[in-house]
Structure 1
Amino acid sequence: MSSGNEFMRLREKLGLTQRQVAEAIGVTDQTVSNWERGVYAPKLTPRQTAKLCQTLSLTVQELADLLEPEKQPES
């Protein structure tokens, strides 16, 4: 499962909308949608990272693990 899907699953489990997450960290809901669809990886300031951890009730390490891009198998 992609990190975007995991992010979306956690957000929905917490009963949060994309807009609520976006407003909490100062980005647009389209940005959150792009993360969830794997269009872009989050590029957050330290303050945004702290707010996202608080919003999702995660530690920084848990957030890093959640957003870590999937490693592609080597050919």
Structure 2
Amino acid sequence: MFNRISQHLGVPADAPTAEQAREAAAELSARAREGYDQARAGLEQALASTREQIVRHPARSLAVALALGAMVGWFIKRR
């Protein structure tokens, strides 16, 4: 019966089945989850490194924060 319906609707014979679509969706979901986990690990590592640099060099960190704040203020003011 499915074949007659698919023929009537003009669905190609080599169209993916529901099971194939589920497998593809599961694979994409797994890849996305893996990418998210890798990005999160990289972000946590960068955050830990930044905290360590702030603790080791507080004066330099304050100067960088002041410079960035001045730049952002200058860019906002120009608009």
Larger RCO (alpha carbons 8 Å, 6+ apart): 1
Give the number of the structure whose residues are more often helix, by fraction: 2
Q: Point out the structure with max Rg over C-alpha.
A: 2
TM-score (structure 1 length as normaliser): 0.24
TM-score (structure 2 length as normaliser): 0.23
